[in-house]
């Protein structure tokens, strides 16, 4: 895959982006409370939904498994680059988790299958200076995490949901699933994971959204 494949595409819905920027400026939906995830299941200010909403920039890249590549690079001893067969040959794991979007909806009990980030990191061997992660998707979207958040035991690069391939609209062939942070931290159509010494804020993080995004601390904006 070439770098040009991951430029932010021109057709993104500017109006939608502006609206979400304005929500950040206005502090929309903030309840000013926090919650303890060991005692409550729904984070503050969230509403439970049954369907699975679709949220993105309005560009849903059509990434065939033939074209698919996943790279893990940057501050690692061993750079990784997988094609579809290589990725699917990695050890697989399953998890059931809740997801929480900053636009207020939460959805319980989503079963994902994929490769844990722990497995990927074990193969790549982060250098001691690596402290942050920047991820890039086929639609040009980026988001950032601490290496610690990325490496947590319940984080995976998922290819299936409820036993079937993740659909294009939900980020297939593969997306990150990181249930402990707001869902904008879980990039769809994932293609590049880069380990860094310095933090590199992503698409929403430079547009008024919180750098960490913990729903239990209601870290919506920042
Ligand atoms: N590549 C990419 N990933 C993305 C986004 C995006 O615009 N592009 N939107 C994020 C946001 S804001 C949310 S809430 C979730 C939505 O995932 P879903 O559409 O599967 O519900 O994807 C996140 N990952
Ligand atoms: Mo979101």
Nearest protein CA to atom 22 of ligand 1, as residue: 184
Q: Are 156 and 115 in contact (CB under 8 A)?
A: yes
Cα–Cα separations (whole angstroms), residue 24 to 19, 28, 79, 119, 183: 9, 7, 36, 35, 16
- From the CA of 181, how far away is ligand 1's center (Å)? 13
Instruction: Say how many Å lie between the CA of residue 20 and the centre of ligand 2.
Output: 9
**pLDDT (average), residues 210-217:** 97
* Shortest-distance Cα residue to atom 7 of ligand 1: 56
User: What element of type H or E holds 190?
Assistant: strand 190-196
What's the 143 CA to ligand 2 centre distance in angstroms? 12
Task: Report how far residue 201's alpha carbon sits from residue 143's, in angstroms, rounded to the nearest whole number.
Answer: 7
pLDDT tops 60 at residue 181: yes
Domains plus CATH for the chain?
A: 3-217 (3.90.420.10)
> Among the listed ranges 18-32, 116-130, 153-167, which one has the minimum average pLDDT value?
18-32
DSSP 126: B
Please give the Cα distance from 108 to 126 (Å, whole number).
33
Q: Which residues pair with 100 in a beta bridge?
A: 106
Give the number of the atom of ligand 1 that is nearest the alpha carbon of residue 204: 12
Which band of pLDDT confidence, cut at 50, 70 and 90, is reported for residue 221? very high
Tell me the average pLDDT across 143-171: 98
Instruction: Kindly give the distance from the C-alpha atom of residue 200 to the centroid of ligand 2, in angstroms, as a whole number.
Output: 19
Q: Is the pLDDT of residue 178 over 50?
A: yes
Which residue's alpha carbon is at the smallest distance from atom 9 of ligand 1? 56
Q: Which ligand is nearest to the CA of 102?
A: 2
On the 0-12 / 13-18 / 19+ scale of CB atoms within 10 A, 66 is exposed
**Residue with tokens 């040959």, as numbered in its chain:** 89
Give, for ligand 1, the residue of 138, 183, 221 to mutate: max count of ligand atoms closer than 8 Å to Cβ: 183
- Give per-residue pLDDT as tens, 21-56: 999 999 998 999 999 999 999 999 999 999 999 999
- Protein residue with its CA nearest to atom 20 in ligand 1: 170
18-45 burial, b at 16+ Cβ within 10 Å, e below that, comes to eebeebbeeebbeeeeebeeeeeeebbb
The average confidence (pLDDT) of the chain is 94
The pLDDT of residue 87: 98
Q: What is the arithmetic mean of pLDDT over 148-174?
A: 98
pTM (predicted TM-score): 0.95
Q: Which residues lie at CB < 5 A from ion ligand 2?
A: 55, 101-102, 184
Q: Is the pLDDT of residue 1 over 50?
A: no
pLDDT tens-place string over residues 56-92: 998 999 999 999 999 999 999 999 999 999 999 999 9
Predicted confidence at residue 4, as pLDDT, reads 47
- Please tell me the predicted confidence (pLDDT) of residue 3: 47
Q: Which pLDDT score, from 0 to 100, does residue 55 have?
A: 94
Q: What is the pLDDT of residue 13?
A: 80
Query: How far is residue 134 from each of residues 49, 97, 177, measured CA to CA in Å?
Result: 29, 23, 15
Q: Give the model's confidence band at 6: pLDDT under 50 very low, under 70 low, under 90 confident, else very high.
A: low
Report the C-alpha gap between 188 and 173 in whole angstroms. Answer: 9
Ligand 1 pocket (Cβ < 6 Å) reads 52-57, 101, 137, 139, 141, 170-171, 183-184, 186-189
């Amino acid at each position: 895959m070439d770098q040009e494949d991951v430029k932010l595409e021109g057709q993104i819905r500017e109006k939608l982006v502006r609206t979400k920027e304005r929500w950040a400026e206005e502090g929309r939906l903030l309840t000013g409370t926090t919650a303890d995830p060991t005692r409550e299941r729904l984070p503050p200010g969230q509403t439970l939904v049954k369907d699975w909403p679709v949220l993105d920039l309005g560009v849903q890249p059509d990434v065939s498994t033939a074209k698919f590549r996943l790279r893990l690079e940057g501050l690692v001893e061993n750079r990784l680059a997988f094609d579809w067969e290589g990725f699917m040959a990695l050890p697989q794991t399953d998890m059931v988790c809740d997801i929480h979007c900053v636009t207020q909806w939460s959805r319980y009990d989503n079963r994902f299958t994929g490769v844990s980030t722990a497995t990927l990191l074990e193969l790549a061997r982060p250098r001691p200076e690596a402290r942050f992660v920047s991820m890039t998707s086929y639609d040009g979207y980026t988001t950032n995490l601490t290496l610690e958040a990325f490496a947590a035991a319940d984080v995976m690069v998922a290819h299936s949901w409820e036993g079937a391939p993740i659909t294009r609209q939900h980020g297939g062939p593969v997306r990150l699933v990181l249930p402990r942070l707001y869902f904008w931290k879980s990039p769809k159509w994932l293609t590049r994971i880069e380990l860094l010494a310095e933090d590199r804020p992503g698409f929403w993080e430079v547009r008024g959204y919180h750098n960490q995004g913990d729903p239990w601390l209601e870290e919506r904006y920042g």
